[in-house]
Amino acid sequence: MTVMAERASSQLSVSMFERIAEFAEREDEAVRFEFIDGRIGLNKVTNGNQGEIAMWLVFQCKQARPELTLNTTQGLKVEAYRKGRARPDGVLAPVGHFAGKGDWADPDGVLMAVEITSYDADTHNRDRIEKPRAYAEAGIPVYLLIDRDRLSVLVHSDPDFEDGYRDIHVVRLGGKVTLPEPVGIELDTAHLKQYLD
């Protein structure tokens, strides 16, 4: 992003961002924008392997907790984080929780946000620094990061408005990981090794 574009995005209102994001998604369904830390970010549409990981996780969550749904398209208002808008790879909430809430829902009632790293230059800042901070500040109890670059799964829990997530548990991809309450699901990530690029 150029310096001029960075300056313009830091002055952009949330309502203007939402109009731009809505227009872009109507024109090209492969384009998805986020507004985090006062700047617009481009979220690439998943590749086949990233999509398979997301769908595997949807199935695991539904099988373990049928009263919950892992929504792979819902955007969230992460207001505390400079009036941001994030579009996680997955948002776990009770069935029907997002009905009638539009493209950008409040995070109240969300049990977990999920990100799966992309192979792009912004992954480090976006998925490992900015989004965990935004999700913790929004009070989301669990943040699950499937880090394909580092062959690991990170479970962030115990969110704090000022400190971010106070507990981060790291498991090598292929191991078993327990998602703490209020999620309460155990995942065997051995299956995910076949989806590494």
Residue 153 CA to residue 127 CA, distance in Å, equals 12
* Beta carbons within 8 Å of 92's beta carbon, 6+ residues apart: 61, 68, 69, 70, 71, 110, 111, 112, 113, 114, 142, 183
Per-residue pLDDT at 4 exceeds 90: no
Q: What is the pLDDT of residue 6?
A: 43
Q: Six-digit token pair at 72?
A: 């792979």
Q: What is the pLDDT of residue 8?
A: 43
pLDDT tens digits for 13-69? 767 666 766 665 555 555 556 566 666 655 554 567 888 999 999 999 999 999 999
Are the CB atoms for 165 and 115 separated by under 8 Å? no
Q: Which of 35-39, 58-62, 120-124, 140-144 has the lowest mean pLDDT?
A: 35-39
Q: What is the pLDDT of residue 21?
A: 60
Of residues 125 and 112, more confidence is placed in: 112
pLDDT tens digits for 71-87? 999 999 997 655 688 89
Per-residue pLDDT at 95 exceeds 90: yes
Residue 46 CA to residue 12 CA, distance in Å, equals 27
Residue 28 CA to residue 41 CA, distance in Å, equals 16
- 132-156 average pLDDT score: 95
Q: How would you classify residue 98: left for phi > 0, otherwise alpha for psi between -120 and 50, otherwise beta?
A: alpha
What percent of the chain clears pLDDT 70, i.e. is strictly above it?
73
What percent of the chain clears pLDDT 90, i.e. is strictly above it?
56
Centre a 10 Å sphere on the Cβ of residue 81 and count the other Cβ atoms it contains: 21
Residue 89 CA to residue 141 CA, distance in Å, equals 16
Q: pLDDT-based confidence at 5, cuts 50/70/90?
A: very low
- 140-161 average pLDDT score: 95
Residue 32 CA to residue 120 CA, distance in Å, equals 15
Among 138, 72, 142, CA closest to 106: 138
